[in-house]
A and B are shown apart, each in its own frame.
Chain A
Amino acid sequence: AIQLTQSPSSLSASVGDRVTITCRASQGFSSALAWYQQKPGEAPKLLISHASNLESGVPSRFSGSGSGTDFTLTISSLQPEDFATYYCQQFNNYPLTFGGGTKVEIK
């Protein structure tokens, strides 16, 4: 199974900051990676698919990049509603796997 390691596991940032979250895979693949946002008590929300495809309705301050074993999620200017936990997920093969999550907290 492909293991996904997210870093950092948590971070503190201020509104307006640029935030970058990394997802490293135990084996390489092209672009079969998605990013989700989850707020407390809510179901996850799909933000990005295929490493860099922004979902309809997701603000353009979110972007994704990468291929192979290293992928990143960037929030260009953190907004109050962005404080949440973010997960990467690979869909290159089964079993599907998630990263451990990155909690973005208010500084």
Chain B
Amino acid sequence: GAVVSQHPSRVICKSGTSVKIECRSLDFQATTMFWYRQFPKKSLMLMATSNEGSKATYEQGVEKDKFLINHASLTLSTLTVTSAHPEDSSFYICSARSLSLTLFDEQFFGPGTRLTVL
């Protein structure tokens, strides 16, 4: 089946630093990748949608200057949390939708990245 990886799986950083999280589709090409944030014991909140080669579309209330998303290729998207603060601590999950003629394709989810900002 389609596999999506995330790196790192866990990161701890100091307040004020920037952290980059990678999301890769390992065995398929992803036209669209999604980034979600999940608070403890809460549901997934969509942060942004990125299409290869174009700017990401951010959901209302998500700071685009703080959460930089780059989708440079059909297999890689990155999320950079700039000047991270403790309130940015969360579980970040990416997903990828396959390149297909089917209108509604399944999203394949990565295992998530636990970010802790001290």
- A associates with B: no
Binding site for B on A (CB under 8 A): none
Binding site for A on B (CB under 8 A): none
